Amino acid sequence: MPLHRMYRVTTFVPPDHLDSLLEGVMREVPLTYAPYDHSAWWSAVGVEQFRPLPGSAPTVGKPGQVERVPTVRLEFAIPRDLALLARVLSRGFVPNHPWQEPVIFVGDSLATASHLASA
C-alpha cells in the first residue's frame, strides 16, 4: 500500500463552534481523503484548561483566572502544500475559531489514502 505525504492539522474547539470551524476550513479545501470529501475526525467532549495572562483578550474568563471549558479535539488532513496550509489557517481556520489564540498543531504525516486531492 503506497504512502502519501500530507499535513495533519489538530486543534481543540468548543463543540458549539465545531461546525462553523469546519465550514470555514472547507471553503478553502474540500478535505478530501481517498474517494471522500468533508473528511474530519473529532473526539468526544473533553476539557481544555488555560489561564489568560495579563494583556490577553480572552473569549472566556478573565486574565489571571484559570478557566476550564468543554472542547473536542478536531483533526483533518490536507495535501502537503505550504501555500494551501497558510490559506487554510489564515482564511478558514483562525477567523472561524472562537479563541484569541487557538492551539493549532500541524504535523507532517504519511497516510494510506489512495489519493489526497490538491486544492
pLDDT value, residue 113: 73
Higher pLDDT, 25 or 4: 25
> What band does 1 get if pLDDT is binned at 50, 70 and 90?
confident
Dihedral sign of CA atoms 98, 25, 31, 37 in order: positive
CA 21, CA 40: separation in Å to the nearest integer?
11
CB 69 within 8 A of CB 56: no
Dihedral sign of CA atoms 113, 83, 10, 39 in order: negative
- Identity at 100, one-letter amino acid code: Q
pLDDT value, residue 119: 47
Residue 118 has pLDDT above 60, yes or no: no
pLDDT value, residue 115: 62
Q: What is the pLDDT of residues 41-76, one digit of tens each?
A: 999 999 999 999 999 999 999 999 999 999 999 999
106's CB contacts (< 8 A; 6+ apart) are 7, 8, 9, 10, 85, 89
- The rounded mean pLDDT for the chain is 93
Residue 27 has pLDDT above 60, yes or no: yes
pLDDT value, residue 69: 97
Residue 22 has pLDDT above 70, yes or no: yes
CA 104, CA 89: separation in Å to the nearest integer?
9
pLDDT value, residue 83: 97
| β-bridge mates for residue 13, sequence order | 72
